[in-house]
């Protein structure tokens, strides 16, 4: 950490709240507490701002957008009489532009915010839970309550030989000085899918590997369709039984896998690990303090964001759940409010939207059909392909589908899952519908603007009870 502008000096006296971690969750907790008049010590270690602004959401989406521009130019032929060609001519220029954006947002949204909150003292150092507060580099800081918001880091899978090769994580991949000719991407979750497509569109020959399917927690119809679109773009999509060994080779790296019981070796210039993230819990003294970890390694919290240690709360990626920056900020606000006001607010992720920034984008909220079944809900579903959505027809891009899940007993909407080029901008409408307990009939009766992607939600809702292909334009 070299941001000297942020160091407000050694705090003095007793604080109402100590927040460990200076990322999105930490800042959200500190600001929420300060706005209530509390005296807060915010403890950072490493680059201020955490994962999202520095090595996660911001840099990845900036590069994904650039790769999309290349792809859209190369697919402009779908419009009669239109020709265009796109390519990444200078990866380092693109990377530098990304770095400028990251630095500016880190400055504006984190560093420059600290002086605006007199109730927040910033301290840099290694924090550890202690009696009556925390210690920072061994020095006791007295605080009435503590919130742990230390985030997460990339998970390195246990593949024999992995520590002996120059593997890439997403953070490392964003800092490469040049693009490789070929790349193996291990992991079919949202990070793997986003980066596999981004690098492929930038000109890298990509193979994405996974044990189950792409986006395994999502709807299978969306996973299957997305895999097909990846293949159309030249991405090799492979399911494997397991990853056996990995080593350097003349071509770069050689990964030995098992496919349907048969050993196979895959080679590429680089390998990118995207097998998930792991909570940052080491060195915090959690076990000694009586803080229990969940089976996934995150800090166990209840719906009030309380840990198993009285007076200690946790929020964000360190809890191992809902690892999205907006959910980190949301949970941190609840933790700060409860720490100072008697645990009156609860964490509710029923209508939590999520987005995977592939193209088409994958946007979801609520329950999948499978998740509804595990809860004993007799679910009804509707599936609408995008060739039924006028916006997609006009854009000459009908890749995708919309799947809605409803409670069969009440007809209330309980899940919405969109695969569409502009799906991310439509999911919040479904989130509001679920939050308000709307039925699919009520959603289908709403007025939607014509020639928009979100109109597909109306059509998908109507698909429960009718064939929308028999409707004229705007007749619903």
**What pLDDT does 1 receive?**
35
Any known ligand binding at 61? yes
Does 69 reside within a domain?
no
Residues 270 and 282 occupy one common structural domain: no
**What pLDDT does 469 receive?**
84
Any known ligand binding at 347? no
Q: State the pairing for strand pair 270-273/252-259.
A: unpaired
Residues 143 and 20 occupy one common structural domain: yes
Q: pLDDT for 275-326, tens place per residue?
A: 999 999 999 999 999 999 999 999 999 999 999 999 999 999 999 999 999 9
Any known ligand binding at 297? no
The residue among 257, 275, 293 that closes a domain is 275
C-alpha 50/C-alpha 48 separation (Å) is 6
Does 375 reside within a domain?
yes
We report the CATH number of the domain holding residue 434 as 3.30.390.30
**What pLDDT does 177 receive?**
95
Any known ligand binding at 192? yes
Any known ligand binding at 320? no
Residues 135 and 201 occupy one common structural domain: no
The residue among 290, 315, 341 that closes a domain is 341
- Neighbour tally for 138: CB within 10 Å: 9
**What pLDDT does 10 receive?**
43
Does 105 reside within a domain?
no
Residues 300 and 426 occupy one common structural domain: no
**What pLDDT does 227 receive?**
98
Q: What is the pTM of this model?
A: 0.93
Any known ligand binding at 317? yes
Residues 328 and 270 occupy one common structural domain: no
Residues 369 and 389 occupy one common structural domain: yes
Owning domain of residue 210:
162-275
Does 95 reside within a domain?
no
C-alpha 354/C-alpha 364 separation (Å) is 5
We report the CATH number of the domain holding residue 293 as 3.50.50.60
**What pLDDT does 80 receive?**
97
Residues 171 and 265 occupy one common structural domain: yes
The residue among 275, 302, 327 that closes a domain is 275
Does 439 reside within a domain?
yes
Does 103 reside within a domain?
no
Any known ligand binding at 188? yes
Does 460 reside within a domain?
yes
Any residues with CB less than 8 A from the CB of 228 and at least 6 apart, and which?
A: none
Residues 199 and 250 occupy one common structural domain: yes
**What pLDDT does 474 receive?**
64
Residues 398 and 372 occupy one common structural domain: yes
* Average pLDDT of every residue of the chain: 94
Residues 367 and 381 occupy one common structural domain: yes
Any known ligand binding at 5? no
Any known ligand binding at 190? yes
Q: How many domains does the chain have?
A: 3
Residues 325 and 377 occupy one common structural domain: no
Residues 8 and 148 occupy one common structural domain: yes
Any known ligand binding at 474? no
Low-confidence spans in the chain with pLDDT less than 70: 1-13, 474-476
Does 370 reside within a domain?
yes
Any known ligand binding at 111? no
Any known ligand binding at 189? yes
Any known ligand binding at 151? yes
Q: pLDDT for 40-55, tens place per residue?
A: 999 999 899 999 999 9
**Pair of tokens at residue 74:** 């190369």
**What pLDDT does 288 receive?**
94
């Amino acid at each position: 950490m070299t941001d000297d502008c942020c160091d407000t000096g050694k705090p003095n006296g007793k604080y109402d709240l100590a927040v460990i971690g200076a990322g999105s969750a930490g800042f959200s907790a500190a600001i929420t507490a300060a706005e209530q008049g509390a005296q807060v010590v915010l403890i950072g270690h490493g680059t201020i701002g955490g994962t999202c602004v520095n090595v996660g959401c911001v840099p990845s989406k900036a590069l994904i957008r650039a790769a999309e521009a290349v792809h859209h130019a190369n697919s402009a032929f779908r419009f009669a009489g239109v020709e265009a060609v796109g390519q990444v001519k200078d990866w380092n220029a693109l990377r530098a532009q990304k770095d400028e954006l990251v630095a500016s947002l880190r400055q504006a949204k984190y560093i420059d915010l600290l002086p605006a909150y007199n109730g927040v003292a910033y301290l840099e150092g290694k924090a550890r839970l202690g009696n009556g507060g925390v210690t920072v580099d061994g020095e006791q800081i007295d605080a009435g309550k503590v919130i742990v918001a230390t985030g997460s880091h990339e998970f390195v899978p246990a593949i024999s030989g992995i520590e002996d090769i120059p593997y890439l994580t997403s953070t490392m991949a964003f800092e490469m000085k040049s693009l490789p000719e070929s790349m193996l991407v291990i992991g079919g979750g949202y990070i793997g899918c986003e980066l596999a497509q981004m690098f492929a569109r930038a000109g890298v020959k990509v193979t994405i590997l996974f044990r189950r399917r792409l986006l395994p927690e999502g709807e299978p119809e969306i996973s299957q369709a997305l895999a097909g679109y990846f293949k159309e773009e030249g991405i090799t999509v492979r399911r494997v039984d397991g990853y056996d060994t990995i080593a350097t080779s003349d071509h770069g790296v050689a990964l030995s896998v098992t496919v349907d019981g048969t050993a196979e070796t895959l080679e590429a210039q680089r390998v990118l690990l995207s097998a998930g993230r792991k909570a940052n819990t080491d060195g915090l003294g959690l076990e000694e303090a009586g803080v229990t970890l969940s089976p996934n390694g995150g800090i166990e919290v209840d719906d009030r964001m309380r840990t198993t240690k009285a007076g200690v709360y946790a929020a964000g990626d360190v809890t191992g759940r809902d690892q999205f920056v907006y959910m980190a900020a949301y949970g941190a606000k609840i933790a700060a409010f409860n720490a100072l006001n008697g645990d009156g607010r609860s964490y509710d992720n029923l209508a939590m939207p999520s987005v995977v920034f592939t193209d088409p984008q994958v946007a979801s909220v609520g329950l999948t059909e499978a998740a509804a079944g595990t809860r004993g809900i007799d679910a009804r579903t509707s599936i609408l392909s995008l060739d039924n959505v006028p916006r997609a027809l006009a854009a000459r891009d009908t890749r995708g589908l919309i799947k809605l899940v409803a409670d069969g007993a009440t007809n209330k909407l309980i899940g919405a899952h969109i695969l569409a080029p502009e799906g991310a901008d439509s999911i919040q409408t479904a989130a509001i519908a679920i939050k308000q307990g709307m039925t699919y009939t009520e959603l289908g009766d709403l007025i939607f603007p014509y020639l928009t992607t979100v109109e597909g939600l109306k059509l998908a809702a109507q698909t429960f009870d009718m064939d929308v292909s028999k409707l004229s334009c705007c007749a619903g």
